[in-house]
């Protein structure tokens, strides 16, 4: 990515050139304005020496998907520790604490999914994205929360007409764009996470539906980067490595025990 010229009077940097435009249509990718914001965040962090104590983050969000991945990572460390005969309690305690924090701070029962929290004003952001469904991964969610998440997943906001994969953004949302990167297209990596979450909670028919759709569209799209939710056509690059890797996982791990 070309190094931009800094503009002190602007909250973003000047126009940047993104290398991914060599592999995808500009209409599919984030806008120049978006890219300028991303680069500005990285530049400000670099200027602070990557020190959170010194950095003044203009964008600071508490994300439910990040929470969920951290929780299952702690559970994986606990499982490895048990296998090696080492103490595992520190990891299980941290997973329990993080699960409580996730539910207390980010769950929105009315919306039926988890929200992002803006750390500048401590308010939940009124947007619905796949990030709010990924906490299905967490095994110790309250049963009622799992029921609401499942209802949202199969409801009209996240049931795409042309794919069993999960849209990255609410199909009825104000910013939905079926082509624009994380504003609507369905991604194989997030579908894999949600498939795993459904299996975690014993929702096997829903998990198998996503698994079958994943494998079918990976094959017929040439292992595309992501899928248009309205047409089912592959978007972005082809022969995408994580699409292929996760297809292999779904083919090989059908009977895997998730949390021993």
Domain locations in the chain? Answer: 1-59, 60-154, 159-260
- Determine which helix (DSSP H) or strand (DSSP E) holds 20, and give its type and residue range: none
Predicted confidence band of residue 219 (pLDDT cuts 50, 70, 90): very high
Q: Which of 41-55, 73-87, 146-160, 173-187 has the lowest mean pLDDT?
A: 41-55
Q: What percent of the chain has pLDDT over 90?
A: 72
Q: What pLDDT, on a 0 to 100 scale, did the predictor assign at position 29?
A: 72
Q: What pLDDT, on a 0 to 100 scale, did the predictor assign at position 1?
A: 33
State both tokens at 34.
């978006």
Q: What pLDDT, on a 0 to 100 scale, did the predictor assign at position 25?
A: 67
Integer-rounded Cα radius of gyration of the chain: 20
Q: What percent of the chain has pLDDT over 70?
A: 87
State both tokens at 15.
């126009």
Task: Give me the mean pLDDT over the 138-154 stretch.
Answer: 98
Per-residue pLDDT at 149 exceeds 60: yes
Q: What CA–CA distance (Å, rounded) separates 25 from 225?
A: 13
At 80 the three-state DSSP class reads helix
Q: What pLDDT, on a 0 to 100 scale, did the predictor assign at position 181?
A: 83
Q: What pLDDT, on a 0 to 100 scale, did the predictor assign at position 20?
A: 63
Per-residue pLDDT at 68 exceeds 60: yes
Listed residue (140, 136, 176, 175) closest to 153, CA to CA: 136
Helix ranges, the chain (H): 32-47, 64-83, 89-106, 143-154, 188-200, 204-220, 241-252
pLDDT one-digit tens code per residue, 178-206: 988 889 999 999 999 999 999 999 999 99
Q: What CA–CA distance (Å, rounded) separates 28 from 21?
A: 9
Q: What CA–CA distance (Å, rounded) separates 141 from 197?
A: 11
First to last CA, the chain: 44
Which residues, 6 or more positions from 134, have their beta carbon under 8 angstroms from its beta carbon? 64, 65, 68, 69, 190, 193, 194, 197
Per-residue pLDDT at 12 exceeds 60: no
Q: Which of 5-19, 34-48, 68-82, 225-239 has the lowest mean pLDDT?
A: 5-19
Q: What pLDDT, on a 0 to 100 scale, did the predictor assign at position 13?
A: 52
Task: Give me the mean pLDDT over the 21-28 stretch.
Answer: 64
At 117 the three-state DSSP class reads strand
Q: What CA–CA distance (Å, rounded) separates 160 from 165?
A: 7
CA angle, 30 then 115 then 209, to 5°: 80
Predicted confidence band of residue 58 (pLDDT cuts 50, 70, 90): confident
Segment of 2-16, 56-70, 80-94 carrying the highest mean pLDDT: 80-94
Listed residue (150, 172, 146, 149) closest to 229, CA to CA: 172
Q: What pLDDT, on a 0 to 100 scale, did the predictor assign at position 5?
A: 36
Average pLDDT over the chain reads 89
Return the bridge partners of 227, or none. 186, 234
């Amino acid at each position: 990515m070309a190094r931009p010229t800094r503009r002190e009077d602007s909250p973003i940097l000047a126009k940047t050139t993104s290398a991914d435009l060599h592999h995808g249509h500009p209409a599919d990718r984030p806008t120049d304005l978006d890219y300028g914001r991303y680069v500005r965040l990285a530049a400000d962090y670099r200027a602070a020496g990557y020190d959170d104590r010194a950095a003044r983050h203009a964008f600071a969000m508490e994300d439910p998907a990040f929470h969920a991945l951290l929780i299952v990572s702690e559970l994986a460390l606990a499982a490895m520790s048990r296998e090696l005969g080492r103490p595992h309690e520190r990891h299980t305690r941290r997973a329990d604490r993080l699960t409580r924090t996730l539910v207390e701070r980010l769950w929105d029962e009315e919306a039926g999914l988890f929200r992002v929290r803006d750390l500048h004003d401590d308010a939940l952001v009124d947007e619905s994205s796949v990030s709010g469904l990924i906490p299905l991964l967490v095994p110790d969610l309250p049963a009622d929360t799992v029921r609401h998440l499942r209802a949202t997943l199969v409801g009209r906001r996240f049931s795409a007409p042309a794919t069993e994969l999960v849209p990255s953004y609410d199909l009825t949302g104000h910013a939905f764009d079926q082509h624009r990167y994380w504003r609507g297209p369905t991604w194989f990596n997030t579908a894999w996470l949600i498939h795993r979450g459904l299996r975690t909670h014993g929702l096997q028919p829903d998990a198998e539906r996503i698994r079958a759709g994943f494998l079918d569209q990976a094959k017929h799209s040439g292992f595309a980067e992501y899928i248009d939710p309205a047409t089912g056509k592959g978007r972005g690059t082809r022969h995408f490595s994580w699409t292929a890797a996760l297809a292999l996982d779904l083919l090989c791990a059908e009977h895997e025990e998730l949390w021993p």
